[in-house]
Every structure is written in structure tokens, then in C-alpha cells.
Amino acid sequence: MSVDSMLKAPAIAAGPLTLVHTADEAAGWWRSAVIYQVYPRSFRDLNGDGIGDLAGITAELPQLARLDVDAVWLSPFYRSPQKDAGYDVSDYCDVDPLFGTLADFDAMMAQAARLNLRVIVDLVPNHCSDQHAAFQAALGAPAGSPERDMFIFRDGRGPFGEEPPNNWESHFGGPAWTRISEPDGQPGQWYLHLFDTSQPDFNWDNQAVHDEFERVLRFWLDRGVAGFRVDVAHALVKAPGLPEWGGRADGNSCDGYPGHDAPMFGQPALHDIYRAWRRILAEYGPDRILCAEANVDPLPRLADWVRPDEMHQAFNFPYLHAGLDVHRLRGVITDSLVALDAVGAPSTWVLSNHDVVRHATRFGYDGPAPRDGDGIGTFDRQPDSVLGRKRAAAASMFMLGLPGGAYLYQGEELGLPDGIDIPDSQRQDPTFARTGGERLGRDGCRVPLPWRAAEPHTGFGSGQDPWLPQPASFAELARDVQTEQPTSHLNLYRRMLAMRRQLDLGRGSLAWLENWCSDTSLAYVNGTTLVVMNVGPDPVDLPPGHVLLRSSPESAEQYSASPETYDGGHQLGSGETVWLNLPVG
């Protein structure tokens, strides 16, 4: 029997409902939180070097408070050679001079506290930078030494050890192994790196690695962070013996799922690591959280990551990958809520991040984006940017009506598209170089933000050129321009987020409204709010109810009208979402 058919609920005036999830009463701020991802390199550059910094974040935090988010998650700002935009960490307990100092971090934390915003930081435990002191020590020490045992070193195959120890591939392309020169200058052992050559994987079979990361957790918890987003949380432990595996190392959010049997992902021993971390967080009170970036399939397996004594949240990448396919969306939402309810965890929802093509660009295509979404270039088929932004508003509004937590990626509140016109010489994602340009990589979604249209670099920073060029369209999408336009994407986000809080949608329930679910539309009821999205080419009739908010308002008046008195149009256009207040009684 399907989950849906087990959960039939009574009809309301608009027709039968299929109940999937009841309102959430457990304690925990994160269970319904909207968390905004700040990508520090591209947020705001206050020192004029063309790269964002912590002082820039501090300066603009009031804008995020005004957006009404609960917390920010910061991608890495730690000491790093920046070979993978900071996900190659050389010192986990210091700020890279590019971004500022620990004092700047503390100033940012103080500002966040004044604004009632929590701050989550990124933890990168699968690998570090090859410039990390521990890896340098390993290179200088002999095979079999405790220093080498912090990482995954193996002898090569072949008569002279000239072949990599197994057939694993790097997620960024090419082999997952690099051979070193031993201290005596002879070709020597190989080390494993699931990502770039400059990112050696730690050996989580070694207790010293556990001890080191527990120290790192405490360092940032002592500085007041609200928790950690754990990078490639499914990859830390590898299967004993490192068996051959023919699949692609699709280990992060850029792609689909890794296979169930992948020896580098989802190993059972991972769970004890996160249990130990949860105990450490609990020493700091009930409000510090762990969120897994764990790309695991099927969804019930993801629930294993958020059992009561493990992480608090996990990213829902199946939701991101469902796009605007209403059947996939319905399946993912139902399966997520049912699987996570079974372990008492909230779901999260996400549409964009620093690893995928922005959803305003993805939805500018009918069907999949070119190159499977692995970056878009000037020679590719181009998206329809107006359509993309319209559908992005609809998709965000559909997502923000769902119960659970939601993650937003900086700039999506402005409806920003990907940067497409990036010269090859400026592309910095290691994927681009490691695949000889075949995969363009993730630079397009990482272009610096536009703050003020009339200022140099649209207000990102007044000094050097931004580290990636901004598209011309960024001027009209700048935050100050959109602030003044009542029906802008930004003002829609502000209203959605304020209303979501007011209606407590994050804590709510979910039932599908069957008569408005079709091959091209989806409708659900959350408490007294009805959410309908139409992705088909034709308008659909709306169920009865007062319009609270539409994703594509025809006029500014619609927004200023009182939700109680304004009775909306009777149809919902193509590529639009609406929130309705159900008629009472």
C-alpha cells in the first residue's frame, strides 16, 4: 500500500485531502528555520581587493535581518590556499587573511547577536588542504608513520608502484589518487583525494583525526556559533580494503546520487562520529545544530542521519533535483516527510546553493539545463531569463509554504541568474581545469552580489574588479533598485518570509489537495493556508479562498490590499504559485 493511501484525511470544501504530515510541536528553533547561505567570497567586499570579506558580511547583516531569516550559514572563511574556494582548509581554527581576522569574526558574531540572527559555520572534515601542517608532516615522514596515518596513503600497483592503488575517480574529474615524491626524492606512495589533488582525504580510522575535529568543534562553539553544516558528511569513512568501484564519484550536491554500494560513501561507521559530535554540541545547550551535506539515496536512508542522537538536519538534495516536475516533487515531499517523521526529524528544503546552477537560470529552460547543469557557457543554449525568474519565484513560494526548515542561497532573493559570460581565463572551479574545460564547473552561481546599482561593481566593492565578472543584468537586479519596486523579487521574498513566520508554516502540517494536483499543478494545505503551483502552459482555476500572496503580482495594489479583504483572481497563470487563506467553516 502506498504511503499516500494510508494517510487519507477528510475532505474540505475544495475536495479530498491526503494527509502526509501533522503539525510539529517538538522544541528546537531549527525545525522551522529559514537559513540563509552566505558565500563569503561573493557577498560584499569592504577592503576593495575584489573578494568578499567578514567585515562586508557584518556591514550587510541588517539586510538579512530585514529579510526575516533566522540564521546564516557561512561557507568556509578559514585559512586556505583557495584551490577549491576555501573547501581546502589549511588551518581550521583561523580566518584566512583574505577574509579578515578572528577579531573580524567576533565582530560579525556580535552584530548577528544584536540582530537576533544565529550563525552556522561550515565544517570540512573529509579532507583538508595539502598545505595543512598535518599533511606537510605526512609528506616529510616515512611510509607507515603516524603522520602518514592521518591520511589515506597506499603503495601503488604495478611492478614499480606506478599505478594508483584502486580505480576510484575524483569528483572533480581524473583519478582520486596522486603519487608523492618520498623525502629521498624517489617516486613513492599515493594519497587519496575524492576531490582536487590539493585536498587529501583524512583517515577516519585513526582516533587522532577524531580528536582533532572534536577540538575544532569546540573552538567554534566557544566563539558562539549556532552549529555546523558538515561538508560531504557521507564520505568520511571508506569501506575496509578500499575495494574497486566502477561508478562515478558523485559525492556532492552537483550531481545525482552515489550508488548504494559506493565504498566511499554512506559507511555505517559514520554514524558513531556524528553521535559523538552531537554529545559535544549538547554540552553547549539545546540550540546548537549539525546539518549534513549527505547525498544519500533512498530517502529513508537519509533519515538515518537525523535520528534523535545524530544530526539535527540534512539537506534535501532530492528536492533540489526534482526541479519543476510535479510528480517527482510530490513523491519527494511525501517520502521526505514520512521518512523523517518516522525518526522525529524535520525536513529541510533547498533550491540553490554554491554548487549548482541557480534556480532562476535552471528554470529558464524547458527541460534540463545544458551540460546537465554543470555550469553554462556562452556557446550553450541560453535560458529565457524572464521566464526563469518568474518560475523561480513560483518555486520559492511553493517551497517556503512547506513545513520544515528551508535553506536559501545568497542572491536568490534578488532572482539572480548564473553568470554565463565568464572568460575561461577567469574560471576558478577546479572542475574546469581537471576536465580540460569539458565541465564548466560552479563559478556561474558564485558571481559577486549586486548591492547598489549606481556604485562601482554594483556596490559589491569599490576597489579592484570582482573575482568573477558580474553580468550586465545585475544592475537592474541590485538590492537598492529592488527595494524601491513594490512588486520586485526581493519584496516578494520579504513578504513570503514575513508571512511564513506569521502563519507558522514551518511548524505546520501537509495534506495534498487532490482535485488541484494534476500532471502540471500541485496543491497542498498547511494549516489554514492553501498553496497551489501551476507549472503547465495554461491557467488553472483556483480553489475557493482569499489570496494572501501571488508569485507574479499583476499590480502593486494587490500587495498593499489587506489579505482579509482582497479576493484574488479566479485563475492561476502558467508558472505561478499562490498562497490562499482557506475559507473558515
Nearer to ligand BGC among residue 376 and residue 393 (C-beta): 376
Angle between helices 102-114 and 54-67 (to 10 degrees): 10
Nearest to 446 by CA among 417, 406, 481: 417
Residue 20 φ/ψ, nearest 5 degrees: -115, -30
Distance (Å, rounded) from C-alpha 18 to C-alpha 378? 45
Instruction: Look at residues 302, 195, 200, 292 and name the one whose alpha carbon lies nearest to residue 249.
Output: 195
CB of 152 to ligand BGC, least distance (A): 16
- Quote the least distance from Cβ 419 to ligand BGC, whole Å: 16
What span, in angstroms and rounded, lies between the C-alpha atoms of 459 and 44?
Answer: 8
Q: How far apart are CA 268 and CA 130, in angstroms?
A: 27
What are the residues binding ligand BGC (CB under 6 A)? 84, 87, 124, 195, 231-232, 252-253, 293, 354-355
Are the beta carbons of 98 and 207 closer than 8 angstroms? Answer: no
Chain Cα centroid distance, residue 502: 25
Q: Is the Cβ of residue 370 or residue 441 nearer to ligand BGC in the bound state?
A: 441
How far is residue 409 from each of residues 52, 290, 344, 359, 571, measured CA to CA in Å? 16, 18, 26, 10, 31
Tally of CA atoms within 13 A in the half-sphere of 194 that contains its CB? 31
**Between residues 293 and 310, which has the closer beta carbon with respect to ligand BGC?**
293
Cα-based distances in Å from 12 to 19, 505, 545, 569: 12, 19, 12, 21
Nearer to ligand BGC, 252 or 410 (CB): 252
Cβ nearer to ligand BGC, comparing 295 with 577: 295
Half-sphere exposure for 250 (CA within 13 Å, toward CB): 18
Q: Please choose, from the candidates 227, 230, 278, the residue with its C-alpha nearest in 3D space to the C-alpha of residue 119.
A: 227
Instruction: Tell which residue, 535, 28, 488, has the closest CA to residue 330.
Output: 535
Q: Which residues are the active-site residues?
A: 231, 283
* Neighbour count for residue 484 (Cβ, 10 Å): 9
Which residues are within 8 A (CB) of 59 and not within 5 positions of it... i.e. 6 or more apart? 44, 46
DSSP letters, 402-419, are SSSEEEEETTGGGTPPPP
First and final CA of the chain: distance in angstroms?
33
Q: In angstroms, what is the minimal distance from the CB of 198 to ligand BGC?
A: 11
Q: How far is the CB of 195 from ligand BGC (least distance, A)?
A: 4
Q: How far is the CB of 89 from ligand BGC (least distance, A)?
A: 9
In angstroms, what CA-CA distances link 373 with 103, 332, 570? 39, 20, 36
What is the nearest approach in angstroms of ligand BGC to the Cβ of residue 299?
A: 19
Shortest gap between Cβ of 87 and ligand BGC (angstroms)?
3
For 70-93, give one letter per residue: b (16+ CB within 10 A) or e: bbbbbbbbbbbebbbbbbbbbbbe
Q: Is residue 577 helix, strand or coil?
A: strand
Of 20, 18, 17, 8, which Cα lies nearest the Cα of 404?
Answer: 20
